[in-house]
Amino acid sequence: MTEAQAREAGVEVAVARIDLPSSIARPATYEQNPRGELSVIFDRRRRVMVGAWAVAPLASEWIHQAVLAIKAEVRLEVLLDTVAQFPPTPRPSSRPWRSSSSERGTPPTGGDMPSAGQTARAR
C-alpha cells in the first residue's frame, strides 16, 4: 500500500524515508559503495506496517522482512525488538543440514532439518 492509498483508506499514517548510505552499518552489506533508499508506512492507530518500498542493489534480499511484517500485521514493538540476521544471503558452507536433496540445492524437508537445539557441530 502506498502512502497515498493509505491516506485515501482513512489510515492515519506515519512515514519514514531512509537514505541507506547514511543509515546502514557498512559491515552489514556486501556493497563497496552502498546506495539506495527505503520507505516504510505505518498505521499509527494499529501500530503496524501497511506499506514499504526499497530501491537499492540487492533490495530483494531483505525487502521480504517488510512483506512478512505487513502480511502478518506484526506490531511495531515486535519489529523494534527483532534483530535481523546478516548476511541475508545463504552460503553453502553455512547449511546446518546435510542430505542428498539439500546438496542438490533443493529445500530441506522433514528429516533434513536439524531439530531444536541441534547445531552445525552435530552435522
Residue ranges in the chain modelled with pLDDT below 50:
27, 91-123
Q: What confidence score (pLDDT) does residue 70 get?
A: 96
Q: What confidence score (pLDDT) does residue 12 get?
A: 97
Q: Please tell me whether residue 38 adopts helix, strand or coil conformation.
A: strand
Q: What confidence score (pLDDT) does residue 82 get?
A: 86
Between CA 120 and CA 60, with CA 95 as vertex, the angle to 5 degrees is: 135
Q: Which domains does the chain have, with CATH numbers?
A: 3-108 (3.30.390.30)
Distance of CA 22 to the CA centre of its chain: 19
Cell matching residue 115: 531439530
Q: What confidence score (pLDDT) does residue 118 get?
A: 42
Q: What confidence score (pLDDT) does residue 26 get?
A: 57
Question: pTM (2 decimals)?
Answer: 0.63
